[in-house]
Structure 1
Amino acid sequence: MESPAPLTRQELNRGVVALKHPNHTTNLYYLAQEYLFLALAIGLPIAFFRWTRSLGYPLWANLPGYLVSIFFIGAIQHRLSNLTHEAGHYALFKNRYMNELVSDLCCIFLLGATTQNYRVSHWGHHAYVNDPEKDPDLIRLKQHQEYDFPMAKGRFCLLYVILQMLPKQSLKYLWGRAKIAVLGINEGAFAETKPVYGSMPTTLLRIAYYSAGIALLTWQGWWIYLLLFWIVPIVTFYPLFMLLREIAHHTNVPDNSTYRNSRVFRPGWLEGFCIFPYGQAYHLPHHLFPSVPHYRLDEAHELAMRYPEYRNNTTICGGFFLSSPKDRQMPTVLDLLSQPA
């Protein structure tokens, strides 16, 4: 079979136009899927605890299952935030009001933030990728902790995995995110985008949302469940997955040129679920075509591979720690971080 004919940049852009239109149904399925995952991750350990208690087992017998639970809840929190990333590009749903409202109510309000606060900073990141004075993400990460790359694999795992799980580092990272997405405090460049609905409706919506949540938790006596199955993962595994994804996307890249400032990833299912959900494995094509919904980024990448400049400059690697199940010879992200770019 002959290879498809190469494309010019203009032909590539025309081909991508057909991929840029979100619909009203696909992400409803993904959102329902996340809530099912969340129900299982919370419900199963609670049911197991009640069963072991009825049999007289000690409390510590539930610890392994609880750790697995908060690991996956942290991943689900990360996945929900990535659906808000889609909404930040108006790619969650075709209708902008639906895009904003569903993202706020079903995804990012659960994490204390708003879609609009996230958007203005994230668009600044897109405009100034890896610019040390203007990229809001890079500025925030350097404030969190700044080390030189390349870095030995063992040192990276110590600094960015083991120590990151400790409260001091975890809360420091979360505060950097919260200043932007919760409080709307921006450093570096940010986009003056017009809100879908104004600041007053957003504030009233947040007040109503959290008031209803507090009332429900108090009425049902569920505060302990909030602590164990939401707050604990949000200060442990959630920031870990967020940080690893951010590092994978832009750290120790060859340079900041258009086709070399990020990567394409081929993770296995676990790292795909936890670190690279919803199109995050196709980060380079996302930066080139930010309006393309996550479920069509693979098509955008395959189309772009017919453009010689993209194909010849794109770094394709496996997962973060694990090699790609599709090609064991691909370097992992950890390999790339430990070698000169």
Structure 2
Amino acid sequence: MGEGAPEVDRADTAKAVKATDIFTADEIRRLGARSDFMGAGLVLSAWGLIGLAMAMFAAWPNPATFLVAVMVIGGRQLGLAILMHDAAHGLLFKTRRFNELAGQWLCAYPVITDLHLYRPYHLKHHRFTQQEDDPDLVLSAPFPITRQSLRRKIQRDLSGRTALTRRREQVMLTWGEAGLNWGQRWERLVKGGLVGAALVNLTLLGLLTALGYWWLYPALWLLPLATWYQLVNRIRNIAEHAMVPDNDDSLRNTRTTYAGPLTRLLLAPFWVNYHLEHHLLLFVPCWRLRQAHRMMLAKGYAERMELRGSYAEVLRLAASAMSDGGGSGGAKPAHI
């Protein structure tokens, strides 16, 4: 699990571990350095892989290439959400204007979310991780559940029912209560991100139509967003905070899950699996989290950290209950 790193005696280690307890000032400075070049490269790589997956199916249309394209694109849609998450922390680009524009228009709006609404919610999650006031606690609290319950959740995700429920709740919440006039409703739709999301998605449809492939938009954008994206987002949520061993220990109330190349392609893009390191080092861009992880192992923190060998291992743990003891969590929003 710890890749041969020396052990740390847990009894001698305080629960409220801070970055400065582990890293030197110079290490913190180097790990936290942001880059416009890297930010642009990450965004372009996500969209480039989406384009290649669409082109692959358009060139060789068959069930196998369609399935691969749906999974790759759904994984990159999660990747866009992960890059939006980095932008919410001000880490995607060094230049603030690039960070806000790219984070909103190229990452958040395409997957029908909003950077500016997400940011305060997510920062509250960091402030109260696994505590009573954590807005994401509802996502981890129901676990472990039974295999049957997990199977039902997976079926809802892959059938599109989860996406339909979330979109309906999103629209109703943004639309607001009865009695508002059209001007007020339009303002709510703009501030709620639905107008921006609609503009970006219509632009994507227009580009594909201009290329002569309008049908790729429903088949290989909306379908992955409604199915595979929902599933991998759920798995990511489970892996990050569900069934952690100590809600009060800053190195054990979140989890890092090891992932191989195929898993990183389809399920865990942009180093999202290094979630423990992200919580400890909020100032570190996603592309340096693996480096931070290796540094922590070299410093002897392996035995102190909540680490799992694979997402399959986490899912087995998530489905280990003999009977369900809580709510289903099926209709709850899955935040990054």
TM-score (norm 1): 0.73
Equivalent residue of 1:253, what SS?
coil
Q: Which of 23, 29, 32 is the equivalent residue of 1:17?
A: 29
Is it true that 1:40 corresponds to 2:52 in the alignment? yes
Is it true that 1:302 corresponds to 2:314 in the alignment? no
Is contact 1:117–1:184 with CA below 8 Å preserved after alignment?
Answer: no
State percent identity of aligned pairs. Answer: 27
In structure 1, the gaps of 5 or more residues are: 50-61, 186-198, 322-331
Cα distance in 1 between the residues matched to 2:114 and 2:289 = 25
**Aligned counterparts, 1:180-199, within 5 A:** 183=174
For the aligned residue pairs, the C-alpha RMSD in angstroms reads 3.5
The answer for the alignment partner of 1:239 in structure 2 is: 230
Change (3 A) 1:269 1:160: farther
Cα distance in 2 between the residues matched to 1:95 and 1:224 = 36
Is it true that 1:80 corresponds to 2:80 in the alignment? yes
Cα distance in 2 between the residues matched to 1:42 and 1:12 = 44
- Structure 2 letter corresponding to 1:91: L
- Structure 2 letter corresponding to 1:279: W
- Structure 1 letter corresponding to 2:56: L
TM-score (norm 2): 0.74
Is contact 2:79–2:269 with CA below 8 Å preserved after alignment?
Answer: yes
In structure 2, the gaps of 5 or more residues are: 177-189, 322-336
The answer for the alignment partner of 1:188 in structure 2 is: none
Cα distance in 1 between the residues matched to 2:289 and 2:240 = 15
- Structure 1 letter corresponding to 2:165: K
Cα drift, residue 179 of structure 1: 6.9
Cα drift, residue 217 of structure 1: 6.1
The answer for the alignment partner of 2:314 in structure 1 is: 333
Alpha-carbon deviations, 1:194-232, whole Å to 9, x = none? xxxxx88x8986676566556556666754321111111
Change (3 A) 1:101 1:183: farther
Length, aligned pairs only:
293
Cα distance in 2 between the residues matched to 1:224 and 1:253 = 43
Alpha-carbon deviations, 1:28-85, whole Å to 9, x = none? 2222222221111111111224xxxxxxxxxxxx233222211211111111111111
Is contact 2:72–2:265 with CA below 8 Å preserved after alignment?
Answer: no
Change (3 A) 1:214 1:85: same
Cα drift, residue 320 of structure 1: 0.9
Cα distance in 2 between the residues matched to 1:295 and 1:123 = 20
**Aligned counterparts, 1:257-336, within 5 A:** 257=248, 258-305=250-297, 310-321=301-312, 332-336=313-317
Is contact 1:83–1:103 with CA below 8 Å preserved after alignment?
Answer: yes
Cα distance in 2 between the residues matched to 1:5 and 1:151 = 32
Cα drift, residue 335 of structure 1: 3.8
Cα drift, residue 104 of structure 1: 1.8
Change (3 A) 1:5 1:135: closer
Is it true that 1:113 corresponds to 2:107 in the alignment? no
Q: Which of 31, 41, 46 is the equivalent residue of 2:43?
A: 31
Is contact 2:34–2:92 with CA below 8 Å preserved after alignment?
Answer: yes
Cα drift, residue 305 of structure 1: 3.5
Change (3 A) 1:27 1:164: same
